[in-house]
Chain A
């Protein structure tokens, strides 16, 4: 394990200020990773549809409905891997906002997960950012720590901080100040094709219990059927990679820091620990030793695995419950015998909990997105229309829309979303939702550090690629990644 000292970081220069500030945010760090013990599928079913909400009336208290203004807004929107259902809800949201606030001139721009951070950072350098932005959960602390964001808490748009997941609030808190509001939060699950399992001689109704089993099952599927067993993803600069590798890393007892522990301090770098190396070894065994995962894993992302799964060429993968709807969408577009084959795969889709590590640890990324307001000096024109920004934030984070905008693949950021009638409808409509709800107690947020985007989007995928291509051994790749994190935290 690599240890970097705070004193050393201070000596290295100005970046240490950010680190000190992170360590000073004691209340946030003292909170448990995610306190979600009561959020079982049964609990969710018991509260669904128990409360009515009037979004327009609630938001009118924040910004009057006849308010006249202008708002520029960027958001992480739907992309090719999302179901059509979600596309429709996004369309509905902006239509509803325009109807609710007819005098706010809204100029929205949708960007994909992988493009948003780069474009937003560039815009900030030129003081050409939008007034409000919806970022992936990783982005909150980075931009808050640099001073780009205005303080913004749920109370500012008529809600209570207690209505949001504690782990999600941590991702928008920097130096004790809240700089954003979570829109949605998610935990993924494990999906497999029961028919492939059966043909490979595996129990079709049982997910692999451990990650070691995933390695074994993947090999068995590949050896017996000649297709890919597990949908490994190791592309760089793609959000899918950390969302799929970190659960494995944490399950083996590893981590980037101590983020998987109850009270993380982010002082100890764990990427080069024996546990982290064991997790990387599991990926190496599947990709190099057994050749049981897609060879294209290094350039692919999850959107590339979905058609493989639907074509019956992939046995299992980590994903959202929305993949069931994505499969339905893809099946509708298939023709001839492909349509029947796709239907067979859909009928054989099974969802289960993400496997555990050798010591029984189960983990999943507690992901999601946040919404923020920029400081005027970084915005094009130097002005922020705060009432207009708060109007859209109030609507998006309302129980109604935080649920609808996360309808197929995620959970509402506002916990009251679970109480709406749409949640009840969703439980009936979205298959396998229970499984991802069952994963909530195992959710671990990414480290709430400004350096997290680089760690998750570049250093972790680099580590995987270095090991899987043979450019480095597993040990070297892990040590190299740990050194990169150490350098990064030291301001290099």
Chain B
């Protein structure tokens, strides 16, 4: 093994700076977070005064009602945002794949939500949703469709769906771009051959186009899922996890535990659990990419 390393010393030398940087900015924080998750860090003391408590933070998390509430919120948020963003993005990609007048302009317009700053978008949507003076409420009241503005983000039952809508609005262009790129790879001659064989539009889509997009779809869905698990800006800026924790997802809850309440140990334990989930998703992502490579190699 040492001989092999020596033989490839130049290769190792090339990647060494990158490995060194990764060790400092990725590996060490991961190690420190895992270490901290086994300590009690009372808010009234400095971090250096922490005390070792083994798995108590994990036990406390898994037996707390808040954990299950936040986990449920996170699942709804992630699955809802990912699935609907993907479906909408895919539909938009299919619509824009055909040539028609104004396609370029429409494509540019649809990409706007994705390129706009998430912070700015959150503030704008906060006002759009405003429970007293939001534009949606004003229009509904103005048209006589409601007596008073609907309560979007100040109600425990509507806040999460309302935030998911904002997230979908921001994310579906990403899915659209990915799927548009995927559509370019579908062989035209196959579609033409299917048409000659009498396949209708739906059959051509289902039996030719869709199978060719399976890998790009998997990658898109995994990337969206990872991004949504890690979402912070929209829920934090629009509601701060409220009202009454109804829009707290893992990341916002971890942030509040760490920076608002200084429970560094518990927040670290949460982060480790989240890390495990994301690594699992990452594994499937890499597998999907490897599958792509194998297919490309075999083609």
B47, B126, B156 pick with most chain A CB within 10 angstroms: B156
- Interface flags for B221-261 (1: CB within 8 Å of A; 0: not) read 00000000000000000111111111000000000100111
Q: Does B51 contact A (CB under 8 A)?
A: yes
Q: Contact check, A18 vs B156: say whether CB atoms are below 8 A apart.
A: no
Interface residues of A in 88-124 (CB under 8 A from B): 118, 121-122
B residues in contact with A491, CB < 8 Å? 42, 44
- Interface flags for A143-173 (1: CB within 8 Å of B; 0: not) read 0011110000000000000000000000000
Interface size of A in residues (CB-CB distance below 8 Å): 43
B residues in contact with A19, CB < 8 Å? 44
Q: Contact check, A450 vs B44: say whether CB atoms are below 8 A apart.
A: yes
B residues in contact with A294, CB < 8 Å? 131-132
Q: How far is the CA of A312 from the CA of B51 in the complex (A)?
A: 55
Q: Are A465 and B243 also in contact (CB < 8 A) when A14-B45, A14-B51, A458-B260 are?
A: yes
Q: Contact check, B153 vs A299: say whether CB atoms are below 8 A apart.
A: yes
A residues in contact with B133, CB < 8 Å? 296, 308, 313
Tell me the smallest distance from the CB of A184 to a CB of chain B, in Å. 25
Q: Contact check, B244 vs A15: say whether CB atoms are below 8 A apart.
A: no
Q: How far is the CA of A236 from the CA of B21 in the complex (A)?
A: 38
Q: Contact check, A236 vs B45: say whether CB atoms are below 8 A apart.
A: no
Q: Are A454 and B43 also in contact (CB < 8 A) when A297-B154, A470-B156 are?
A: yes
Q: How far is the CA of A468 from the CA of B131 in the complex (A)?
A: 15
Q: How far is the CA of A270 from the CA of B73 in the complex (A)?
A: 32
A residues in contact with B126, CB < 8 Å? 299
Q: How far is the CA of A253 from the CA of B116 in the complex (A)?
A: 49
Tell me the smallest distance from the CB of A17 to a CB of chain B, in Å. 8
A residues in contact with B246, CB < 8 Å? 469, 471
How many pairs of A and B residues are in contact by the CB < 8 Å rule? 102
Q: Does A438 contact B (CB under 8 A)?
A: no
Q: How far is the CA of A451 from the CA of B132 in the complex (A)?
A: 34
Q: How far is the CA of A476 from the CA of B47 in the complex (A)?
A: 33
Closest B residue to A237 using CB positions? B240
Closest B residue to A304 using CB positions? B130
Q: Does B280 contact A (CB under 8 A)?
A: no
Q: Are A121 and B46 also in contact (CB < 8 A) when A236-B242, A471-B244 are?
A: no
A residues in contact with B11, CB < 8 Å? none
Tell me the smallest distance from the CB of A227 to a CB of chain B, in Å. 9
Q: Contact check, A118 vs B259: say whether CB atoms are below 8 A apart.
A: yes
Q: Contact check, B154 vs A454: say whether CB atoms are below 8 A apart.
A: no
Q: How far is the CA of A465 from the CA of B133 in the complex (A)?
A: 20
Q: Does B197 contact A (CB under 8 A)?
A: no
Q: How far is the CA of A234 from the CA of B239 in the complex (A)?
A: 12
Interface size of B in residues (CB-CB distance below 8 Å): 34
Closest B residue to A114 using CB positions? B240
Closest B residue to A454 using CB positions? B261
Q: Does B155 contact A (CB under 8 A)?
A: yes
Q: Are A13 and B51 also in contact (CB < 8 A) when A18-B45, A296-B132, A469-B156 are?
A: yes
Q: Contact check, B242 vs A299: say whether CB atoms are below 8 A apart.
A: yes
Q: Contact check, B44 vs A235: say whether CB atoms are below 8 A apart.
A: no
Q: Contact check, B47 vs A236: say whether CB atoms are below 8 A apart.
A: no
B40, B43, B244 pick with most chain A CB within 10 angstroms: B244
Q: How far is the CA of A491 from the CA of B266 in the complex (A)?
A: 13
Tell me the smallest distance from the CB of A8 to a CB of chain B, in Å. 15
Tell me the smallest distance from the CB of A187 to a CB of chain B, in Å. 27
Closest B residue to A466 using CB positions? B244
Q: Contact check, B156 vs A471: say whether CB atoms are below 8 A apart.
A: yes
B residues in contact with A234, CB < 8 Å? 243
Q: Does B151 contact A (CB under 8 A)?
A: yes
Q: Does A479 contact B (CB under 8 A)?
A: no
Q: Does A133 contact B (CB under 8 A)?
A: no
Q: Are A298 and B259 also in contact (CB < 8 A) when A146-B45, A235-B242, A471-B244 are?
A: no
Q: How far is the CA of A22 from the CA of B59 in the complex (A)?
A: 31
Q: How far is the CA of A236 from the CA of B47 in the complex (A)?
A: 25
Q: Contact check, A298 vs B44: say whether CB atoms are below 8 A apart.
A: no
Q: Contact check, A228 vs B262: say whether CB atoms are below 8 A apart.
A: no
Closest A residue to B49 using CB positions? A14
Tell me the smallest distance from the CB of A6 to a CB of chain B, in Å. 14
Interface residues of A in 3-18 (CB under 8 A from B): 13-15, 17-18
Interface residues of A in 340-376 (CB under 8 A from B): none
Tell me the smallest distance from the CB of B132 to a CB of chain A, in Å. 5
Q: Contact check, A454 vs B132: say whether CB atoms are below 8 A apart.
A: no
Q: How far is the CA of A472 from the CA of B268 in the complex (A)?
A: 29
A residues in contact with B173, CB < 8 Å? none
Q: Contact check, A299 vs B44: say whether CB atoms are below 8 A apart.
A: no
Q: Contact check, A465 vs B242: say whether CB atoms are below 8 A apart.
A: yes
Q: Does A457 contact B (CB under 8 A)?
A: yes
Tell me the smallest distance from the CB of B46 to a CB of chain A, in Å. 5
Q: Contact check, A235 vs B43: say whether CB atoms are below 8 A apart.
A: no
Tell me the smallest distance from the CB of A347 to a CB of chain B, in Å. 23
Q: How far is the CA of A450 from the CA of B149 in the complex (A)?
A: 41
A residues in contact with B42, CB < 8 Å? 13-15, 491
Q: How far is the CA of A488 from the CA of B151 in the complex (A)?
A: 33
Interface residues of B in 115-137 (CB under 8 A from A): 126, 130-133
Q: Are A298 and B242 also in contact (CB < 8 A) when A13-B42, A118-B259, A469-B156 are?
A: yes
- Interface flags for B250-286 (1: CB within 8 Å of A; 0: not) read 0000001001111000000000000000000000000
Closest A residue to B153 using CB positions? A299
A residues in contact with B153, CB < 8 Å? 299
A235, A236, A296, A488 pick with most chain B CB within 10 angstroms: A296
Contacting residue for B261 out of A295, A298, A458, CB 8 A: A458
A residues in contact with B131, CB < 8 Å? 294-296, 299
B40, B130, B132 pick with most chain A CB within 10 angstroms: B132
Tell me the smallest distance from the CB of B248 to a CB of chain A, in Å. 10
Q: Are A454 and B49 also in contact (CB < 8 A) when A296-B132, A298-B242 are?
A: no
Q: Contact check, B130 vs A235: say whether CB atoms are below 8 A apart.
A: no
Closest B residue to A463 using CB positions? B244
B residues in contact with A296, CB < 8 Å? 130-133, 154
B residues in contact with A125, CB < 8 Å? 47
Q: Contact check, A469 vs B260: say whether CB atoms are below 8 A apart.
A: no
Q: Contact check, A299 vs B244: say whether CB atoms are below 8 A apart.
A: no
Tell me the smallest distance from the CB of B273 to a CB of chain A, in Å. 20
Tell me the smallest distance from the CB of A118 to a CB of chain B, in Å. 4
Q: How far is the CA of A297 from the CA of B245 in the complex (A)?
A: 15
11 inter-chain pairs at a CB distance below 8 angstroms, sorted by A residue, are A15-B44, A18-B45, A19-B44, A235-B240, A294-B132, A298-B242, A450-B44, A451-B44, A454-B260, A468-B243, A471-B156
Extra pairs beyond A234-B243, A299-B240 (7, CB < 8 Å):
A146-B45, A299-B126, A299-B243, A454-B261, A469-B155, A469-B243, A469-B246
4 tightest CB-CB pairs across the interface, nearest first? A295-B131, A298-B243, A471-B244, A15-B42
